[in-house]
Every structure is written in structure tokens, then in C-alpha cells.
């Protein structure tokens, strides 16, 4: 950090949390600047300032942004600590990795590509719907539906006071293990936002119950053949090229 910038951005870039979460910490009085508690994120800081988060000194020296793909298994929650004491992704990640922030989430029963970064500011940018990054999933669902109902999701669906953006939905095949008509059908779904359990809730609205959900890609980053539970780092060349395209 060579020039002054908003304190929440500085905290995010240090990999502590996202910019939005940093603003909440500030409002809760968890951040000090030059040994004074601040409660408003409307403050610019520079490398000359001493910043403490939870009474721990923040390292504001420039760090290389890193990005990793984790093949998340089912049964893990995407949080650092779970109130129900369920296993988390951070319990299972290799110990030699730097402090990481997950970019978006996959729910407990979902699996596949999960991006992790050292830069909370990058995480915040990638999660914004305005960025328009596509997320693609393979989805297995049970139930009976029609093309007309699927077209509702393709046009954009409203559930009560919430609206889901249009989804790209392609029929893949029926599960060979299931002989009964209309059960265990595989779809490929692409969307550009990540609302809580979005695909599961949208499918339920058209009489389909999702029983398996695997994320294949997020923006230009693909799961490929990374084994379940393993991590792969994105090259600096590819990462810098991608970051240059972000709004």
C-alpha cells in the first residue's frame, strides 16, 4: 500500500476478511488506527498508519495476491467456525497454505469448485453480481417438470419478494441407475449470482428436488480433474490477466 485508501479495503487486502466484513468489524469497534478505536469506515489510511484488528497488528506491506481452487467434498461448511460444530473447509485444507478467504460458498451438501484467495478485496469484487461472472453446475434432481416450467427459470423467477436472474439450463441425461420415469435427471445450470441455495430453491419451485449439486466452474476457472479434497493454485500469469478484466 503506497498511497492512502479506505481502511476497509486495506484490511481486505491483508487477507483478514472481505471489505464488507471489515466494515462490520469497524462498526463493532474491533479496529484501531494509531491506537484509537474507530467506528466508521469513512477513513483513509496509508502504510504510515498502525492498524490493529482484534488487537492484532495488521501487516500492511504489499502482498502477492494468490488464488486457489479447492475441490470441496460434501459434508463441509464454508465458514471458519461453525456454531453447530460441523466440520469446515478450513479444518480440511492443507496446513501449509496461507490465510485464505472463500469466494462465495457451497452449502453443506454441495461439492465441487470453491475459490479461495489471500485478498479479501478480490473476493468481494468476484462475488458482486455486477461483475457478471458465470458459475456452472451439474445438477441431479428428482421429480416431474415441463419445458414450460424450465423456461420460467430461463427467463428469471420471482419467489415471494426475491427475484432470481435468468439461468441457462440444459438437459444432460437421466441417471442410468434409476429406471423409473422422471427421476434422477441431470442438468447443467449456469448463473451469474450466488444467492443462498439459489439452484435448490429455484428447482423446488418447479417441482424438482436437487439431490446432488457439483460446481464445475466460476468465471474462467474450472474444476477440471482436481481430485476431491485437493487444492490447486492458479498461476500468477493467469490470475493477473483475469484481475485486469475486473470492473
Q: Residue 211 has which C-alpha cell?
A: 439431490
Quick one: cell of 115? 475459490
DSSP annotation of 67 reads E
Beta bridge partners of 138: 188, 214
Give the separation between CA 41 and CA 185, rounded to whole angstroms. 48
- Residue 10 DSSP SS3: helix
Buried b (16+ CB within 10 A) or exposed e, 193-224: bbeeebbbebbebbebebebbbbbbbbebebe
DSSP assignments along 199-215, one per residue:
HHHHHHTTTEEEEEEEE
C-alpha neighbours within 13 Å on the C-beta side of residue 52: 12
| Parallel/antiparallel/unpaired status of strands 67-72 and 111-117 | antiparallel
The single residue of 91, 107, 170, 225 carrying the catalytic annotation is 107
Q: Transcribe 76-103 into DSSP letters.
A: -BSSSS-TT---BHHHHS-TTS---EEE
161 is catalytic: no
> Catalytic positions, please?
107
Amino acid at each position: 500500500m503506497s498511497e492512502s485508501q479506505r481502511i476497509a479495503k486495506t484490511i481486505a487486502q491483508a487477507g483478514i476478511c472481505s471489505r464488507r466484513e471489515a466494515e462490520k468489524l469497524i462498526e463493532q469497534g474491533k479496529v484501531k488506527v494509531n491506537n484509537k478505536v474507530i467506528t466508521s469506515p469513512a477513513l483513509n489510511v496509508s502504510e504510515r498508519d498502525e492498524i490493529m484488528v482484534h488487537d492484532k497488528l495488521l501487516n500492511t506491506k504489499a502482498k502477492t495476491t494468490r488464488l486457489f481452487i479447492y475441490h470441496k467434498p460434501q459434508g463441509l461448511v464454508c465458514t471458519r467456525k461453525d456454531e453447530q460444530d460441523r466440520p469446515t473447509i478450513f479444518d480440511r485444507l492443507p496446513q501449509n497454505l496461507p490465510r485464505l478467504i472463500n469466494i462465495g460458498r457451497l452449502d453443506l451438501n454441495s461439492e465441487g469448485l470453491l475459490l479461495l484467495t489471500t485478498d479479501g478485496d478480490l473476493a468481494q469484487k468476484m462475488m458482486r453480481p455486477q461483475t457478471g461472472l458465470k458459475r456452472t453446475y451439474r445438477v441431479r434432481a428428482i421429480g416431474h417438470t415441463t419445458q414450460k416450467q424450465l423456461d420460467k427459470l430461463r427467463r428469471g423467477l420471482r419467489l415471494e419478494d426475491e427475484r432470481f436472474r435468468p439461468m441457462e439450463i440444459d438437459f444432460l441425461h437421466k441417471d442410468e441407475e434409476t429406471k423409473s420415469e422422471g427421476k434422477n435427471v441431470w442438468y447443467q445450470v449456469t448463473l451469474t449470482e450466488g444467492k443462498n441455495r439459489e439452484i435448490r430453491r429455484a428447482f423446488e419451485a418447479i417441482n424438482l428436488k436437487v439431490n446432488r449439486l457439483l460446481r464445475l466452474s466460476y468465471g474462467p476457472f474450472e474444476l477440471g480433474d482436481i481430485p476431491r479434497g485437493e487444492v490447486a493454485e492458479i498461476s500468477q500469469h493467469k490470475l493477473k490477466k483475469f484481475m485486469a478484466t475486473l470492473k
